[in-house]
Structure 1
Amino acid sequence: MAGSKETQRIEESLELQEIDQNIFRSIKLWKFTRGVGAFGGNIIAQAAHAATKTVQVGYHLHSLHCYFISFGDVEIPTGIIYLVDRIRDGKSYATRSVKAIQRSRCIFTLLISFHKPEINQAVLQNKIDLSRIPPPEDCQPVETRLQNYVNENLDSIKPKMLEYLQREIEENKLNAIEHRNTRSKRFDQSSNYETSETYWFRSRAKIRSDPAYQKLVLAYASDFRFIGTIGKAMGLNLTGGPRTSMLASLDHSMFFYDHEFEVSEWMLYKMEAEAGKEGRGLVIGRIYTRDGRLIAVCTQEGVVRVEPETTSKVVPKL
């Protein structure tokens, strides 16, 4: 397991400065090198963190629903301002809404609910059969699979694609979340047109054991590779085939059904592409512990646009 640098990296991505009552500011924002704006999981986790800071001890985050309205600019010195509205504090549930503001405009909204656990209630907890899924020790990190592919095909990879793959390799090495695909160790396009994708993931460093903070890190991690499941299911970006001109999250929801887990331990993320049409796609994901216990259910709709047949330099907009 990696050390303090990785711990600092992910905790910096979640930390906030309290400006006033119910008003918080991001300290650090992270983006993909190929991305237009701040990583969506970063904004989700920060907004959820802002809301969590306004809730009494004893209430646990159980669900969140958010919309990405515009891209978050990582270059603005003032970062993102999070405005928390304390909608309700009930005996069993507490509800908050959060607006993320940049340049006096709302770029993101979150509705989030907290619940006081109720004992002696009926329980239904499904478990996943892991017998046919290779353990994480038998799966390679994403960056290793990509590097092996580059090494084996260096003479045939076009310069533009090689540059893209090298960026992907470096980005995955620096990612605070490690991912391992459960498919073959060999990177290829065999998974295209399949509607499901399964990854093992964990934080590269030990995260503080506070269950509320663990959920923030899980929310951060839940946005990685999620909407991309639709692109693969549609067979986009195959050699000689249609290519995506835009792949971006529109909304994201999470439902938590367990409070006892460690994001620094291996977790399984099973993603299912449910539908795709008219430039949109829907994905449902389920997150399990190493022993198959269901932790959270996620849904996400996103923009999935294909490049027009005629080459165009116009930057797509929502």
Structure 2
Amino acid sequence: MANSATLFAPPPLDSSKAPIENVLELTPVEDVGKDVFTNTRPLWHPPGARGIYGGAAIAQSLAAAMRTVPADFAVHSMHCYFVLAGDSAIPILYHVERVRDGRSFITRTVQARQRGRPIFTTTLSFSKANSGGKKKLEHASSMPSVALPEEPLPGSKRTFDESGGGPFETKKAGIVNRNSPPQDKRIRRFMRSRGRLSDAGGHHAHISALAYITDSFFIGTVSRVHDVPRFSSPAELEKLLNALKNPSDLDDEDIARALKELKEEETADLRRRLQGALDKVAKEGPQEHKEVGMMVSLDHSIYFHNPWAFRADEWMLTEMESPWAGEGRGLVLQKIWSKDGILIATCTQEGVVRLKQDEPPRSKL
């Protein structure tokens, strides 16, 4: 296999497509097999992560599976496991297996491999449109009453968003029950892909973009509801940003802006935590220092409820909560609504969330 980030030389970016469509583009590898695909462009390795951004493996596996399914079927669930950290310096091969083709449901599995070893695996189920009959049982969680972000005026400078560049953008939408126990807090964000998804990409482009975005800020919810910082200092963050591998979807301006904003955000959070800690010390005595030592996703599930009822390039509201954490792991639930208030997806993720210890760890993953 070639010693490069892609198996084939990447073509020029397609200006008729949104950035996320270019990022997620796949190339068939017919010499290997009928249902084998590879990433067309280099994949992003986020700062501080052990491997590639997990959303890329999720979304490209979904895109590969959708290529083997008739157009009148839509994915309704996918269950994923992150097996090994993906290396952004070498290509990924996505092997699709056609498990079952039924009249109402179709099942596929996809295994993502590097150097012949599986790094990611997922099972997906597709259902035929309008196969539920005329009589239906229907209900859905209501979208919280949160105002959509204001759009910048024409010609104005782009406002910073917390994603720090890349093919999608995010904006905070507040924390519910901020002063409550961790299990009662709710973290809200608005998310959308940048630009406008092409008409040629159709339904598949929006589903893939949504899958890509679902992994953003997900397992980090566990540390956030505990008020434990992901990065222990602005200096550590700057070091990680400078060590970015294959930042194909970031530029120098985005990185500088991300660093400045995250430093300011970290400073504000530190002040808030310090004041909270001082208040707690005054009441309960000295508190134990907590700092994230390791955070990595183990599994990721998406239930797609209304796959034709949204656009991924329009604002979507996501609300995350963590009902449980323990044994060095944490669980997060996520609901996603379209801008029109339609519940379009529910996601779950469990990951390793370990704090830095006063003594060396006794075991490794």
What band does the TM-score fall into relative to the shorter chain?
Answer: 0.7 to 0.9
**Is residue 75 from structure 1 mapped to residue 93 from structure 2 by the alignment?**
no
State the 1:97 CA deviation.
0.4
Partner amino acid, structure 2, of 1:41: G
What is residue 28 of structure 2 aligned with on the other side? Answer: 18
**Counterpart of 2:80 in 1: which secondary structure?**
strand
Deviations 1:145-195 (A, max 9, x none): 8xxxxxxxxxxxxxxxxxxxxxxx7xx3322211111128xxxx9799463
What is residue 232 of structure 1 aligned with on the other side? Answer: 224
Write the distance in 1 (CA, Å) between the matches of 2:143 and 2:93.
Answer: 43
Q: 1:95 touches 1:114 (CA, 8 Å); kept in 2?
A: yes
Partner amino acid, structure 1, of 2:291: R
What is residue 269 of structure 2 aligned with on the other side? Answer: none
Correspondence list, 1:162-201, <5 A: 172-183=163-174, 193=182, 195-201=185-191
Q: 1:251 touches 1:301 (CA, 8 Å); kept in 2?
A: yes
- How many residue pairs get aligned? The number is 278
Write the distance in 1 (CA, Å) between the matches of 2:346 and 2:16.
Answer: 26
Q: Percent identity?
A: 36
State the 1:5 CA deviation.
6.7
Q: 1:13 touches 1:30 (CA, 8 Å); kept in 2?
A: no
What is residue 161 of structure 1 aligned with on the other side? Answer: none
Closer/same/farther in 2, CA of residues 264 and 92 from structure 1, 3 Å limit: same
Partner amino acid, structure 2, of 1:130: P
Correspondence list, 1:40-79, <5 A: 40-76=54-90, 79=91
State the 1:8 CA deviation.
4.9
Write the distance in 1 (CA, Å) between the matches of 2:192 and 2:18.
Answer: 15
Write the distance in 2 (CA, Å) between the matches of 1:279 and 1:44.
Answer: 24
**Counterpart of 1:213 in 2: which secondary structure?**
helix
Closer/same/farther in 2, CA of residues 286 and 87 from structure 1, 3 Å limit: same
Correspondence list, 1:1-318, <5 A: 7-20=17-30, 21-28=34-41, 29-76=43-90, 79-117=91-129, 118=131, 119-131=133-145, 133-137=146-150, 144=160, 172-183=163-174, 193=182, 195-209=185-199, 210-237=202-229, 241-258=289-306, 259-310=308-359, 317-318=364-365
Write the distance in 2 (CA, Å) between the matches of 1:182 and 1:191.
Answer: 18
**Counterpart of 1:33 in 2: which secondary structure?**
coil
Write the distance in 2 (CA, Å) between the matches of 1:190 and 1:175.
Answer: 32
State the 1:50 CA deviation.
0.8
Partner amino acid, structure 2, of 1:101: R
RMSD: 2.7
Write the distance in 2 (CA, Å) between the matches of 1:277 and 1:34.
Answer: 22
Write the distance in 2 (CA, Å) between the matches of 1:212 and 1:34.
Answer: 31
Structure exhibiting the larger radius of gyration computed from Cα positions = 2
Closer/same/farther in 2, CA of residues 275 and 123 from structure 1, 3 Å limit: same
**Counterpart of 1:136 in 2: which secondary structure?**
coil
Closer/same/farther in 2, CA of residues 190 and 182 from structure 1, 3 Å limit: farther
**Moved segments of 4+, more than 4 Å:** 4-8, 189-194
Partner amino acid, structure 2, of 1:120: K
Write the distance in 1 (CA, Å) between the matches of 2:104 and 2:151.
Answer: 44
Deviations 1:239-264 (A, max 9, x none): 68311111111000011111221011
State the 1:113 CA deviation.
0.9
Closer/same/farther in 2, CA of residues 207 and 244 from structure 1, 3 Å limit: same
Q: 1:6 touches 1:204 (CA, 8 Å); kept in 2?
A: no
Write the distance in 1 (CA, Å) between the matches of 2:205 and 2:211.
Answer: 10
Q: What is the TM-score when the length of structure 2 is the normalising length?
A: 0.70
Partner amino acid, structure 2, of 1:19: V
Which ranges of structure 1 fall in alignment gaps of 5 or more residues?
A: 146-168
Which ranges of structure 2 fall in alignment gaps of 5 or more residues?
A: 1-13, 153-158, 230-272, 275-287
Closer/same/farther in 2, CA of residues 179 and 5 from structure 1, 3 Å limit: farther
Q: 2:21 touches 2:205 (CA, 8 Å); kept in 1?
A: no
State the 1:35 CA deviation.
2.0
Q: What is the TM-score when the length of structure 1 is the normalising length?
A: 0.80
Q: 2:77 touches 2:124 (CA, 8 Å); kept in 1?
A: yes
Partner amino acid, structure 2, of 1:61: V
Closer/same/farther in 2, CA of residues 9 and 36 from structure 1, 3 Å limit: farther
Write the distance in 2 (CA, Å) between the matches of 1:59 and 1:138.
Answer: 34
Partner amino acid, structure 1, of 2:73: Y
